[in-house]
Structures are given as C-alpha cells and as structure tokens.
C-alpha cells in the first residue's frame, strides 16, 4: 500500500526527515511516552504549517505543529498534512510550549486506508440499540443535536473491531477488565489459593475444573473461558464468556465461602476506584452489602416492588438459600430445610454476576441427588465426577464463579455485556 501519492523528492532538503518506512527507525533523541509511538487521527494543514493530533492508548493525546523553515520544507509540511486519520507514525520532536518553531522529523510506520469502516468519533459514541445484538438496526441513528457524527449500532461496533478497540472508551473498558483480573489474582494468591488450569476440550459435560481439583487441594482458583449451550440473545448473555472461579474447604459453615466472595468483590470495587480513576467515573462507593434469602427477596418484590430499592440504597446485594429446584445436583441441601440449598447469587444493578454455594462432598448423598435430578450416575462425565468422591474422599467445600464480563459491564453501567468482551461470541456471531 502506498503511504501517500507523492513521497519526498530528490531535491527536497528535508527528504531525510519524513516519508514512509517499513521498519521502526532508530531515534537519536530520548524516547518519551505519549507514548513512544502515537496514532495520528486528526490533521489540518495550511501552506507552511500542518497541525496533527497524536494519540496513544485512548486518552493520551497531544497536538503537534510542523512548520516550514530552515530544516522543514514545504513538501514535508504538505506530506504530513496528506496523512490519513489513524496512521501509525513515529515522531522525533521537542515537547514544550509552542513559543518557537520546532525542528522535527516524522515518518509513517503503518498507513491507514483511504476510508475507515467506522470512524474514531463514531466508535467513541454510545451505541444506539442493544436489546438484541443481531436484531439491531444498522445505519445512521440517534444523531445528537448539533453533531455531525452519527451514533453506530452495536452490530456496527462489534463488526469493526479495529476501530472500535482504538476508541478511548473501548480502551478504558479493556483496562478495567484487565485490572479486575489482576485484583482477583492478587487477592486469592495472597490468601493461599493455588492456580488450577482445567482443559477446555473434554469428552462430556463438566461441572467445572475446580470442583474436581478440590480433591487435591484445599484452595484452588482458575480463570478461563466458559461456553453456554443456550440460544440466549440478550444484553447480559454471551456464548463464550470468562469466569473467575474459586473453590475452598469449608471448616464450619458455607457462609465462609459467601463472606470470602463478598469481601473479594468489594475489594475489587474499591481497588478499581484507585487503579482506574483515569479510565472510569465512579458511579457508587461500595458499602455494606444487603444479604437476604431467596424467599424473602420474592416477598419483597411482591409486597414492595422496585420501591424497596429506596430502603436499601445499594446496587450490590446477595440472595441466599436458593430453592432446590433451581440448583444443580451438586448443591448442598439446607439440613434444616431440604427444600432450599446452601447456594447463593450476587447481583449488581439487578443482574447476576456471581453464583456459588456449598457443594455436596459425600458420595452417597451426591449419587442420590444425581438420581433425584433424573440423571444416570454412570453417564459420561457424571461417573468420573462421582468417582472423585468415591475413590479419594473430599473435605466439605464450596466456591463460586464470578462473571468477568458482567462485573465490568455492570460496574461501569454499560448497556450490554457485549462491549466488555474482546471478540463477543453469541448464538449468531462467530466473526470477527
């Protein structure tokens, strides 16, 4: 691809200070982060001057001025002004207040196409509709008053990942996602958990790698993709999503697990305030969580409805004691009420972000529960799971899985979880 129609000419005295380059150039000056290589995404030019805006990593930007003079030719100014938005450029310049002309070379290291599938301005605007990703109307919608840049649909954003991911908002979301993973790992590592890496390819349905690994360790965790075999086309569902799982021994009561997970999530929220203050605007300060049983939650909704929110004043709450009918065979029944389980869900802004509880560790009880659910105890996958408890013995344990994409989406008050995945996978989307 040609960098521009006309490169430096042979008689241009500044020909060694600009043009296209295939390999990164060795810079004589000290490199300084804007960062070292910026992305040119806005440029205007006049006869003897060219203004460029250089951007890197989302919100980092600086304006540059190229002015014809003793070491900068008019041809160089014209060439800089001809560069298309989103070129990757290497700039050797002096960073200071513009009190005098600056002698600076500039080279284009990665040319951008003549036209972009999605402009940076559109990529940085909110999506238009997110009710169902594949049913979003394509095209120009929801123009803001006085704006010449149309808002794009969710499908347009996802279908143009190169530009979407370069938008400052998308990069901020990505930074928050990475930070959540780091905070989770730091927290569990500091409390003696060991990393477990379960396989993604298996011969039968699985209830999670950590459930099996607990036979060999008292505290384990894993972070990896999970796949949903459901035709779920909603703003809170992905076919492939990342889960941060942990399992641990229960010493006295399964609320040890609940409290650990609660403290972990609140720790993540508080750390995000500190580590990502440049990426996000805080929407709440985590306080004491609301913890109620599933039955009490149903009662509140029937009697009070959404108005009950005014009494609790929180977007983070826990529902405990889920009904036996709503939980899988491995959920431990409440010894005082076998109609409910020692299982819980955590919610943010009305959406589930974590599911967990105490697992059955006694093989006879587990086999009985498997049969009660209408599953054969010798069926593929189930037999191997049951054998762990029969052959080795397992301490009382419990755990939970945190949906990484959902935590990021609802913490940032985003309209859909699809904006948090690097490459969203849904029942109707495998590309790009």
Structural domain ending residue among the three candidates 129, 147, 166: 166
- pLDDT value for 313: 62
- pLDDT value for 21: 62
Both 145 and 186 in one domain: the answer is no
> What pTM was computed for the model?
0.66
Which entry of 230, 251, 252, 303 is annotated as an active-site residue? 230
- pLDDT value for 271: 92
Structural domain ending residue among the three candidates 84, 110, 136: 110
- pLDDT value for 35: 43
Q: Answer yes or no: is 425 within a domain.
A: no
Q: Answer yes or no: is 9 within a domain.
A: no
237 noted as active-site residue:
yes
Both 244 and 355 in one domain: the answer is yes
Return the CATH number at 58: 2.40.50.140
> Which residues of the chain register pLDDT less than 50?
1-5, 31-46, 115-126, 128, 132-150, 209-210, 282-287
Both 278 and 183 in one domain: the answer is yes
Both 106 and 124 in one domain: the answer is no
Which entry of 359, 406, 418, 429 is annotated as an active-site residue? 406
User: Which H, E and C letters describe the chain, residue by residue?
Assistant: CCCCCCCCCCCCCCHHHEEECCCCCCCCCCCCCCCCCEEEEEEEECCCEEEEEEEECCCEEEEEEEECCCCCCHHHHHHHHHCCCCEEEEECCCCCCCCCCCCCCEEEEECCCCCCCCCHHHHCCCCCCCCCHHHCCCCCECCCCCCCCCECCHHHHHHCHHHHHHCHHHHHHHHHHHHHHHHHHHHHHHCCCEECCCCCCCCCCCCCHHHHHCCCCCEEEEEEEEECCCCCCCCCCCCEEEEEEEEEECCCCCHHHHHHHHHHHHHHHHHHHHHCCCCCCCCCCCCCCEEEEHHHHHHHHHHCHHHHHHHHCCCEEEEECCEHHHCCCCECEECCEEEEECEEEEEECCEEEEEEEEECCCHHHHHHHHHHCCCCCCCCCHHHHHHHHHHCCCCCEEEEEEEHHHHHHHHCCCCCHHHHCCCCCECCECCC
- pLDDT value for 332: 95
Q: Answer yes or no: is 429 within a domain.
A: no
Both 201 and 304 in one domain: the answer is yes
Which entry of 237, 359, 361, 418 is annotated as an active-site residue? 237
Both 82 and 230 in one domain: the answer is no
- pLDDT value for 7: 60
Both 220 and 319 in one domain: the answer is yes
Both 70 and 57 in one domain: the answer is yes
Return the CATH number at 320: 3.30.930.10
Which entry of 236, 255, 284, 291 is annotated as an active-site residue? 236
Structural domain ending residue among the three candidates 67, 82, 110: 110
Range of the domain at 149: 120-166
Both 179 and 153 in one domain: the answer is no
Both 243 and 386 in one domain: the answer is yes
Q: Answer yes or no: is 430 within a domain.
A: no
Q: Answer yes or no: is 355 within a domain.
A: yes
- pLDDT value for 44: 46
Q: Answer yes or no: is 338 within a domain.
A: yes
Both 69 and 34 in one domain: the answer is yes
Q: Answer yes or no: is 156 within a domain.
A: yes
Both 128 and 55 in one domain: the answer is no
230 noted as active-site residue:
yes
177 noted as active-site residue:
no
228 noted as active-site residue:
yes
307 noted as active-site residue:
no
236 noted as active-site residue:
yes
Which entry of 349, 352, 368, 425 is annotated as an active-site residue? 352
327 noted as active-site residue:
no
Q: Answer yes or no: is 302 within a domain.
A: yes
Query: How many structural domains are present in the chain?
Result: 3
């Amino acid at each position: 691809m040609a960098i521009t129609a006309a490169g430096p000419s042979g008689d241009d005295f500044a020909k060694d200070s600009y043009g296209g380059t295939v390999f990164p150039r060795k810079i004589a000056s000290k490199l300084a982060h804007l960062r070292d290589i910026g992305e040119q995404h806005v440029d205007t030019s006049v006869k003897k001057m060219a203004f460029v805006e250089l951007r890197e990593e989302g919100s980092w930007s600086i304006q540059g001025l190229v002015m014809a003079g003793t070491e900068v030719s008019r041809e160089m100014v014209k060439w800089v002004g001809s560069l298309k938005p989103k070129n990757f450029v290497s700039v050797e310049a002096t960073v200071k207040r513009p009190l005098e002309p600056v002698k600076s070379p500039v080279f284009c290291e990665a040319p951008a196409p003549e036209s972009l599938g999605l402009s940076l301005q559109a990529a940085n605007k909110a999506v238009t509709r997110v009710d169902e990703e594949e049913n979003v109307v394509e095209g120009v919608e929801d123009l803001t008053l006085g704006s010449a840049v149309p808002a794009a649909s969710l499908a347009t954003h996802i279908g143009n990942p190169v530009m979407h991911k370069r938008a400052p908002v998308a990069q901020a979301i990505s930074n928050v996602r990475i930070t959540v993973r780091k905070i989770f790992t730091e927290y569990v590592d500091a409390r003696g958990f060991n990393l477990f890496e379960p396989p993604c390819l298996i011969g039968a349905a699985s209830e999670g790698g950590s459930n099996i690994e607990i036979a060999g360790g008292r505290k384990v965790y894993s972070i990896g993709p999970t796949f949903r075999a459901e035709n779920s086309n909603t703003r809170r569902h992905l076919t492939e999503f990342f889960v941060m799982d942990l399992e641990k021994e229960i010493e006295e009561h399964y609320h040890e697990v609940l409290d650990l997970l609660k403290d972990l999530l609140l720790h993540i929220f508080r750390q995000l305030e500190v580590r990502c203050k440049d990426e996000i605007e805080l929407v709440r300060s985590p306080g004491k969580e609301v913890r109620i049983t599933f039955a009490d939650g149903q009662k509140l909704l029937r009697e009070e409805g959404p108005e009950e929110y005014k009494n609790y004043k929180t977007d983070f709450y826990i529902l405990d004691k889920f009904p036996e009918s709503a939980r899988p065979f491995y959920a431990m029944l409440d010894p005082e009420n076998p109609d409910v389980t020692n299982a819980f869900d955590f919610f943010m802004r009305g959406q589930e972000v974590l599911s967990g509880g105490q697992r059955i560790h006694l093989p006879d009880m587990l086999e009985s529960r498997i049969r009660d659910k209408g599953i054969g105890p010798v069926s593929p996958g189930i037999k191997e799971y049951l054998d762990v408890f029969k052959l080795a013995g397992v301490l009382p344990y419990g755990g939970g899985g945190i949906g990484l994409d959902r935590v990021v989406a609802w913490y940032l008050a985003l309209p859909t979880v699809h904006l948090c995945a690097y490459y969203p996978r849904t029942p109707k989307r495998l590309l790009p």
